[in-house]
Amino acid sequence: MKPSRIGITGLRKRWLVSSLGPIFVVALLTAGTFCAGMANYYYNMMLDGLQTRATQASDYFTSNTMNSYGEFYRYANAFAAEFAERDTIELQFIGPTGEVIVSSYGLTAGMEPDTPDIAAVFQTGDIEPYRGADPNTGEHIMSVTVPLQLGDQIVGAMRYVTSMSRVSREILITVGIAVGLLIIAIGMVYVSNMVFINNVVEPVAEVTETAKRIAGGSYGTQMENHYRDELGQLIDAINNMSSQISESEKTKSEFISSISHELRTPLTAINGWGETLLEVEDPQQLKRGVNVIVREARRLTNMVEELLDFSRMEDGRFTLRIEQTDVQAEFEDTIYTYMELFKQEAIELRYDSWDELIPPIPADPERLKQVFCNVLDNAAKHGGAGKRIDAAMSTDEAGDIVITVRDYGPGIPEDELPFVKQKFYKGSSKARGSGIGLAVCDEIIRLHEGAFAIGNAEGGGCIVTITLPCK
């Protein structure tokens, strides 16, 4: 199944908007500033050149002694005829009435440019620039006009005029190159972002699809991990989650099957003996049947209690009722109770008592007795073949209480030892049980801030060690 493209498109869109958006805005502002700066640079450079030429030319022109307007006109014709930059600049001499009297082109003589710089020169007597459209031709031009004086009187003006088309073309070329480079840069950023997005989004889409399959019930589904970064860690985490869910589902199914069988067996025995007792008159047979019913009813009660404890553990309602408890007395009461029970099964229970008095500690006596009973039950159930169980209580160097229960049965396979305290785990054992008793015991001792350890003893059998802090 291919990953949904909706999620990819949305993620790609968000990424491009968040990453390329600011870059694009900055690029536009940079390009606009650059273009405006280049245009202003070219225009100012061109205007400075015209003003320099016009000032130098007017100084040279007025250095000749002119006594009449006629001499001014002859000098103007001679100066225009010798003008060397006629290919790019037009030199005009303007009369007092604003018309062109002499031009280096010759074509504009007699015309009135009618631009504001001319009138301003005759009014102010200062040099005046102009940039804009030519009123006669509509062409975009730049001009500089300087006054010409005969004595104290302004008799005319010298005007330098040039077309802006060449400068505008240079500006457009420069701006075009800049915009082209900008587009290439944005394109490279876009391509690199798309490559990065595809390298991230596609795997994320695959992870999403796999997560959907796992959520839909395909537990145990695994993804190939080709990455060694955070994405690889995410894939490893999802693969691990999928494996754990699969194992949990398998364990749950096995638990349901097992607990159904465990519940059915005592119920069958109770129902069978109950029907039998209705017709039995022999007192011995009657006593035997009642004992079976009591034993199976006790087993059912224990299983129901374990299930309730497990439920409380799962939702966090498993708590202790702490009070000052004589752990030694509670443990010895349990020992003496089970001694009589084990005698009926031909199992010898030996207890090695501690000579020194162990002071009471803050604890939940009912929960501790539950642990002691469960441990002894397991010792008889799994190690009863050895026909002997040893129990002992002492204190260690730190003053903590140490309780041990050892059987002489076949022990626990080494590869199963790390899992025996896990919920529902029964391993290769064929003994009856729910598989949650040891998990409940471990939780009870943990809440007492103690330690609950299970291992194989030297010489065979299994040994359970319970450590409870005195403080």
Per-residue confidence (pLDDT) for residue 165, from 0 to 100: 83
Q: Hey, how many other C-beta atoms are within 10 angstroms of the C-beta on 323?
A: 11
Domain ranges of the chain: 7-169, 230-315, 323-468
Per-residue confidence (pLDDT) for residue 261, from 0 to 100: 62
User: What's this model's pTM, rounded to 2 decimal places?
Assistant: 0.46
**C-alpha span between 353 and 392 (Å, rounded):** 6
Which uninterrupted H or E stretch holds 146? Answer: strand 140-150
CATH number, domain 230-315: 1.10.287.130
Is residue 411 a contact partner of residue 461, using CB atoms and an 8 Å limit? yes
Which are the contacts of 468, defined by CB distance < 8 A and separation ≥ 6?
327, 361, 363, 368, 400, 401, 403, 445, 448, 450
DSSP 459: T
pLDDT in tens, the chain (471 residues): 444 444 445 666 776 677 777 888 888 888 888 888 888 888 888 888 888 888 888 887 777 656 677 777 888 888 888 888 888 888 888 888 888 888 888 766 678 888 888 888 888 888 899 988 888 888 888 899 998 877 677 888 889 998 888 888 888 888 888 888 888 888 888 888 777 777 777 777 778 888 888 887 777 788 877 777 777 888 888 888 888 888 777 767 766 776 676 677 678 878 887 888 877 777 887 788 888 788 778 777 777 777 777 677 666 667 788 899 999 999 999 999 888 888 888 899 999 887 788 889 999 998 899 899 889 988 888 887 788 999 999 988 888 999 999 999 888 888 888 888 876 666 656 554 456 778 888 988 998 999 999 999 888 889 999 999 986
Which uninterrupted H or E stretch holds 60? Answer: helix 5-62
User: How far is CA 345 from its chain centroid?
Assistant: 61
Q: What is each CA distance from 13 to 16, 389, 419, in whole angstroms?
A: 5, 71, 48
SS3 assignment for 354-397? CCCCCCCEEECHHHHHHHHHHHHHHHHHHHHHHCEEEEEEEECC
**C-alpha span between 148 and 205 (Å, rounded):** 81
- DSSP string for 194-213: HHHHHHHHHHHHHHHHHHHH
Which are the contacts of 297, defined by CB distance < 8 A and separation ≥ 6?
266, 270
CATH of 323-468, one of 3.30.565.10, 3.20.20.70, 3.30.465.10, 3.30.413.10: 3.30.565.10
Which are the contacts of 102, defined by CB distance < 8 A and separation ≥ 6?
73, 76, 77, 80, 92, 93, 109
- DSSP string for 269-320: HHHHHHHHHTT---HHHHHHHHHHHHHHHHHHHHHHHHHHHHHHHHHT----
Closest listed residue to residue 204, CA positions, set 228, 235, 226: 235
Instruction: State in words which class domain 7-169 has.
Output: alpha beta
User: How far is CA 14 from its chain centroid?
Assistant: 15
Indicate if the alpha-carbon torsion angle 302, 303, 306, 307 is positive or negative: negative
